Amino acid sequence: MDLIPTPSQTVGPYLHLGLTDAGSISRIFGDGAKGEKVWLTFRVLDGEGVPVPDAMIEVWQADPEGNYANQAGSTDGAGFRGFGRLATAEDGSCTFETIRPGCVRGPGKTVQAPHINVSILGRGILKRLSTRVYFAGERANAADPVLTLVPENRRTTLLAKADPARKSYWMFDVHLRGESETVFFDV
């Protein structure tokens, strides 16, 4: 059997009612989780560079050992959930408190650099946009099997930048459209 999957529709302007008023998750780990704690601020901008105040970001990431919670063989230990979601504020931003992920195994003998899988939803977004956040300056980026699929001149759109003013704070701008458009993936 090969049923046509149900099509996507926009989350609309009132997503908060169903998804984030009661279901926000800004901290993706529990007490006792090990690893390097980091804060990651997203900012969502439209094709004219105007902040998008009614978007929603979801993140899904591996733990510092490179394992996903719930994956076969994972221990799901130390309260590491790996999932978060937040609505953007008036300035188009939202901030997750997380643990820097480890390298994740990739196809064949490759190793994926630390990355965070991201969904972007919002009014005017008819189907979920999918991207990845990598960390600028990470040595493993050079051999990452996904980053290398991306034309070199667009790779920087996938790199979170360290906030020079605050240790352990990272910033990632999502440009939905336009000259500095973020790379989105067909997953």
Give residues 87-116 in contact with other proteins (rule: CB under 8 A): 102-109, 111-112, 115
Please say which residue, 124 or 169, places its beta carbon nearer to other proteins: 124
- Interacting span for other proteins (CB under 8 A) from 35-43, 87-95, 142-150, 159-167: 142-150
Minimum CB distance to other proteins, residue 155 (Å): 11
Tokens representing 134 are 């990598």
Q: Kindly state the smallest distance separating residue 47's Cβ from other proteins, in Å.
A: 4
- The alpha carbon of residue 75 and the mean position of all alpha carbons in its chain are separated, in whole angstroms, by 23
Characterise 75 by phi-psi region: left (phi > 0), alpha (psi -120 to 50), beta (else).
alpha
* Smallest separation (angstroms) from other proteins to the CB of 95: 19
Give me the residue label for tokens 């050992």: 65
Residue 51, classed as helix, strand or coil, is strand
Q: How far apart are CA 76 and CA 47, in angstroms?
A: 40
Q: Using the Cα atoms of residue 61, residue 186, residue 134 and residue 122 in order, give the sign of their dihedral.
A: negative
CB of 61 to other proteins, least distance (A): 8
Q: How far is the CB of 150 from other proteins (least distance, A)?
A: 6
Q: Which of 26, 27, 124, 159 binds other proteins (CB under 8 A)?
A: 124
Q: Give the one residue of 78, 136, 143, 146 binding other proteins; rule: CB under 8 A.
A: 146
Q: Is the alpha carbon torsion for 8, 14, 15, 18 positive or negative?
A: negative
Q: 147 near 157, Cβ under 8 Å? A: no
Residues 1-60 that bind other proteins (CB under 8 A): 1-19, 21-23, 46-48, 50, 52, 54, 58, 60
> How far apart (Å, rounded) are the C-alpha atoms in residues 63 and 80?
7
**Is residue 143 involved in binding other proteins (CB under 8 A)?**
no
**Tokens describing residue 135:** 């960390």
| Binding residue for other proteins, selected from 24, 39, 51, 81, defined by CB under 8 A | 81
In the window 154-183, what residues touch other proteins (CB under 8 A)? 154, 176-178, 181-183
